[in-house]
Structure 1
């Protein structure tokens, strides 16, 4: 990988990591569901008018939009609003790699190798340790919501693999159009029209900047740059850089929000990142239609388009 491409990969990881701190600040301006709706509205408009028509079937756009946009981000924003720290959220959300592997096994017949199974066990141990740490410092209900968000992310990853979009940016922009109305409806029902109107009336330049960051920088730029890198380098070369996301996420939360990181949380981080590394980078066996395990490793066992997708946090 060229130095410029290496720097771009690190920059994307940094952008995605800092995003959790920006979300934390944004939740002081907006109710969580309204905030999530505004994020996707800004990501979709005006970009949707420039990326061309959708290049996959609408069923995949609707499916990923509802699971990723409404369920995953709705749970994440509500969990953080309920007290889940930004740095810990950036770490725990990486358990999505384990959910992706488990769902891919159940739906796609991709049998994990022993090394990948070990990675899943190690990552789950890290989540358990993080839960113990959070149980002494914050609400476990908020922790559970972020775990639920990670599970929804795993489902959306498998749906994206099935969709196999040839243009990652086009796909993400059209996916961003789907959650806006459902999230707005849920916000009106659960957060109330008066709270939403108060947030919109009180919109200031900081609030605008927050929405633009989470929409244009983390979604449009981050996802577009990540897809650009994956079109030029093997997935096994690009994917490890995503492990830097919780490093930047926890560092930014400590620097800008004053979040403390206990020794127990550092231990959880080491286990979770190490386990996710094994889960993400170890090859997976896949099954043929007759149920016979294939000798082809995962990166070569799926169509090229399947390898390009990674949804930004």
Structure 2
């Protein structure tokens, strides 16, 4: 990779890692579903007038918007509103890396690798530790309903990945290539109304109107960051790198997202985890590494090293 592209990839990772802290800051004074709805309205305008509609059927755009927008972010935002720490949320959301291959195996019959199953089992152990040791005696308390809701978010994220994959395959069958940024922008039409409907079921209309009329600067910053920086800029750069380089070189960099998420939450929000929670987080990261890293590269390096040594000894 070129140095400029490496810098851009690392910058996107930092942006996405800080995303969880920004959500937490935005929820300080804004109901979760209203903040999620604002995020998509900002993502939608004015991008929809600039970015061309993807050449796929509307059903895929609608399904993608419902899963990633309504499913994933309603669960994540509300979980964080009722007590899920930004630091642990940044870790738990990454288990989509395990759920996506499993759903791909079930839905589109994609081959499931042994390392993906192993990584999923290891990550499950880490999640169990975090959930078990999040009692009132720990530094960071996690309500059970917040923890369970956060677990639902990566499932919807994984489901949206499958929908995007099917849509991409359909586009390729027609001789086209699916532009993921275009899909993200046009799918942003779907979430705002359902999210506002959920917001009205959780809050009174007066509360929502009063919140919008008295938005704090930090809430406005949060909504702008989530819409323009994390979504449009982040996905735009990331998808460009995915097209430019082999996925195997780019995808593992996303493993740094939880690291930046933990550090940002620690610095900005002063979130502190118990020793057992840190152990759980570490175990999940090990599972992520096992699932995403191509260990075949290391085998090739070792084999090459042995050949060189043998040639020198001869």
> 1:103: Cα distance to partner?
0.9
Q: Which moved more, 1:177-186 or 1:210-219?
A: 177-186
2:193 alignment partner, one of 181, 190, 198: 181
197-206 or 231-240: bigger deviation:
197-206
Separation in 2 of the partners of 1:255 and 1:33?
A: 26
User: Residues 234-255 of structure 1, C-alpha deviation per residue, up to 9 Å, x if partnerless?
Assistant: 1010001111111011111110
- TM-score when normalising by structure 1: 0.87
CA offsets 1:152-173 (integer angstroms, 9 cap, x no match): 1111111111111621111110
How far apart, in 2, do the equivalents of 1:130 and 1:160 lie?
31
- Equivalence map 1:179-218=2 (5 Å): 179-218=191-230
CA RMSD of aligned residues (A): 1.4
- Which whole-Å CA distance do the structure 1 matches of 2:86 and 2:218 have between them? 18
Residue of structure 2 in register with 1:12 after alignment: 12
CA distance in 1, matches of 2:142, 2:285: 22
After superposition, where does 1:1-313 map in structure 2 within 5 Å? 1-136=1-136, 137-164=141-168, 166-281=178-293
Q: Indicate if the aligned counterparts of 1:116 and 1:282 stay in contact, CA closer than 8 A.
A: no
Q: Secondary structure at the match of 2:75?
A: helix
3-state secondary structure, aligned to 2:282: helix
> How far apart are the structure 1 equivalents of 2:18 and 2:222?
12
Q: Does 116-125 or 59-68 show the bigger shift? A: 116-125
Is contact 2:28-2:219 (8 Å) kept?
A: no
Q: Distance in 2 between matches of 1:108 and 1:157?
A: 12
The list of structure 1 runs, each at least 4 consecutive aligned residues, that deviate by more than 3 angstroms after superposition, is: 280-283
CA distance, structure 2, for counterparts of residue 235 and residue 274 of structure 1 = 20
Cα deviation, residue 60, structure 1: 0.8
- Write the distance in 2 (CA, Å) between the matches of 1:195 and 1:246: 34
Per the TM alignment, residue 190 of structure 1 is displaced from its structure 2 partner at its CA by: 2.4
C-alpha displacement of 1:276: 1.8
Structure 2: segments with no counterpart, 5+ residues: 169-176, 296-314
SS in 2 for 1:109: coil
Q: Distance between the aligned counterparts of 1:274 and 1:195, measured in 2? A: 43
Counterpart of 1:294? none
Shift of 1:281: 4.2
Contact 1:19–1:214 (CA<8 Å) still a contact in 2? yes
How far apart in 1 are the matches of 2:220 and 2:264? Answer: 20
Equivalent pairs counted in the alignment come to 283
State the match for 2:173 in structure 1: none
- Give structure 1 stretches of 5+ with no counterpart: 284-313
In structure 2, relative to structure 1, the CA distance for the partners of 1:135 and 1:161 (3 Å cut) is farther
Other-structure match for 1:306: none
